[in-house]
Amino acid sequence: MARPMRLPITCLLVLGILGCRKGAGEGAAGAAPSAREAAEGEAAPGAGSGGTDGPTAGAAPDAPEAEAPPWPTREPCRSAARKVWRQWARPMEPTPTPPTPVEGLAGALALALDEGWNACAVTPDHGAACWGVGIRGALADDPEARSRPGPIAGLAGVALVLPAQTPHACALGLDGSVACFGAPNNRKLGSAANETWWSEFPARVEGLPKTRALAVGFGFTCALAEDGTVRCWGRNDSGQLGDGSREPRRTPAPVPGLSGVAAISAGREQACAVLEDRPVRCWGDMLATFCRDPVPVPVPVPDLGDVAQISVGWDHACALLAGGTVRCWGENDGGQLGDGSWTHRFTPVAVAGLADAAAVEAGDGVTCALRRDGTVACWGKNQCG
């Protein structure tokens, strides 16, 4: 969900998506509408008018279609798709915001954002600064809205800090430690001792080996250890912890059968891993929530090939292949898969007209790719300009 991004894509998404909203110490130790409600059918930010399929614009049909998945489905899949389309396709006037410099942020070493609520940066002294709508606890020293970057007290020696579209965020330390802050409901924080609604200061996540990457989803977090194994904790109602159960966990637990992992990414209620020999494994809600049952253990994703990078968005995912092409799968109500259709896909499809990508980022109904020439191409929902 949250993930580090190259600067051009980060600026576009942070300032474009956030702008339209109304309304590792020696390591890393140390209110908005519910997105869940939005996913279940309430009026949601990020839904509604505007969409592009691949590089070109298209008009939305009466309802998105859903192809037959290669696993058990909930019936009737098509009628569920129509229901979700009606709930999400509510008109919303866009207020486009062009990319502009972020005030009070100079010399940032790394940037990351969630699907439209908060953004965080590593400062030149390896501290952390965050800004956004101020979901409770997401800005540790001030739970109210913040429009400019503010320091996160208690964080030092930070390599990366990842906000989530829920009230928590996690930081990876230069020494491989992990600290999280925000609301620990559903056991997001990884701290067995913290029982309060939100944590004012970052708390170190115990029980983790030296960590080299993090993935923060909607109420859960996964950590990639230097030995190539993955551990997850937090909410687990869709099997997003990958342990075969649907029981939430307050502390990290290994994802069984998953080793030799090179990279991880997390979305709303799903996560994916790229293995060192380049295949992809995913688990959780598997990106097409209303047409199939969650998969609580890692399973292979077909039709990908040599994967260089993966990015899991709110309800879709995209993989960058070594040759520069991109393949996406999941929900497609705004054309975010880029295949020129509005059809939900349970298996990856090629993004039309894109063969020179250097990086890809999947967000909330939108996808962007950084091309090798330094330009950026985006497609999907365009309600915020």
The residue behind tokens 């502390």 is 251
CB atoms within 10 A of CB 125: 10
Question: How much is the mean pLDDT over the chain?
Answer: 75
Q: Is residue 24 part of a domain?
A: yes
d(CA 171, CA 25): 11
The residue behind tokens 């230069």 is 174
User: What is the DSSP pairing of strand 56-57 with strand 280-284?
Assistant: unpaired
* Residues 21/116, Cβ–Cβ less than 8 Å: yes
Residue 273 confidence (pLDDT): 97
d(CA 381, CA 49): 7
Q: Is residue 138 part of a domain?
A: yes
Q: Is the pLDDT of residue 141 over 70?
A: no
Q: Is the pLDDT of residue 196 over 60?
A: no
Q: Is residue 232 part of a domain?
A: no
**Nearest C-alpha neighbor of 39 from the set 240, 293, 267, 197:** 267
The residue-averaged pLDDT of 192-214 equals: 77
The residue-averaged pLDDT of 131-145 equals: 57
Domains identified in the chain, total number: 1
> Which tens digits make up the pLDDT trace of 96-128?
567 778 888 889 999 988 766 788 999 999 999
* Residues 204/192, Cβ–Cβ less than 8 Å: no
Residue 81 confidence (pLDDT): 37
Residue 339 confidence (pLDDT): 96
d(CA 124, CA 299): 40
* Residues 359/320, Cβ–Cβ less than 8 Å: yes
Higher pLDDT, residue 47 or 169: 169
Q: Is residue 364 part of a domain?
A: no
Q: Is residue 303 part of a domain?
A: no
Residue 131 confidence (pLDDT): 84
CA 58 to chain centre: 25
Residue 166 confidence (pLDDT): 66
Residue 169 confidence (pLDDT): 87
Q: Is the pLDDT of residue 52 over 70?
A: no
Q: Is the pLDDT of residue 54 over 80?
A: no
Q: Is residue 20 part of a domain?
A: yes
> Which tens digits make up the pLDDT trace of 330-377?
999 999 999 999 999 989 999 999 999 999 999 989 999 999 999 999
Q: Say how many Å lie between the first and final Cα of the chain, rounded.
A: 21
* Residues 1/215, Cβ–Cβ less than 8 Å: yes
d(CA 164, CA 85): 25
Split at pLDDT 50, 70, 90, the class of 151 is: confident
The residue behind tokens 């996560």 is 271
Q: Is residue 335 part of a domain?
A: no
Q: What phi, psi does 315 have (nearest 5°)? A: -140, 20
> Which tens digits make up the pLDDT trace of 323-337?
999 999 999 999 999
- SS3 assignment, position 236: coil
Q: Is the pLDDT of residue 209 over 70?
A: yes
Residue 139 confidence (pLDDT): 55
> Which tens digits make up the pLDDT trace of 246-303?
999 989 999 999 999 999 999 989 999 999 998 999 999 876 444 567 899 999 999 9
Higher pLDDT, residue 215 or 104: 215
Higher pLDDT, residue 53 or 208: 208
Q: Is residue 166 part of a domain?
A: yes
Structure tokens at 311: 């990015």
Using only the alpha carbons of the chain, give its radius of gyration: 19
The percentage of the chain sitting over the pLDDT mark of 90, rounded to a whole number, equals 47
Higher pLDDT, residue 72 or 271: 271
d(CA 170, CA 160): 8
> Which tens digits make up the pLDDT trace of 167-192?
688 999 999 999 988 765 444 455 55
d(CA 118, CA 122): 14
The residue-averaged pLDDT of 138-148 equals: 58
HSE toward the beta carbon, residue 305, CA cutoff 13 A: 12
d(CA 305, CA 345): 17
Structural domain span for residue 114: 1-49+91-206
Q: Is the pLDDT of residue 13 over 60?
A: no
* Residues 282/338, Cβ–Cβ less than 8 Å: no
Higher pLDDT, residue 11 or 106: 106
For the four alpha carbons of 241, 198, 3 and 287, in that order, the dihedral sign comes to positive
DSSP 102-147: PTT--S-SEEEE-SSSEEEEE-TTS-EEEEES--TTTSTT--S-EE
Angle at 321 between CA 5 and CA 238, to 5 degrees: 70
What is the 3-state secondary structure of 136-150?
A: CCCCCCCCCCEEEEE
The residue-averaged pLDDT of 204-215 equals: 96
Q: What phi, psi does 379 have (nearest 5°)? A: -155, 160
Residue 118 confidence (pLDDT): 81
Q: What phi, psi does 96 have (nearest 5°)? A: -60, 140
Residue 134 confidence (pLDDT): 59
Kindly report the pTM of this predicted structure. 0.75
CB atoms within 10 A of CB 35: 25
Structure tokens at 150: 């503010």
- What distance separates the 2 farthest-apart alpha carbons in the chain? 55
Helix (H) or strand (E) holding 77: helix 77-88
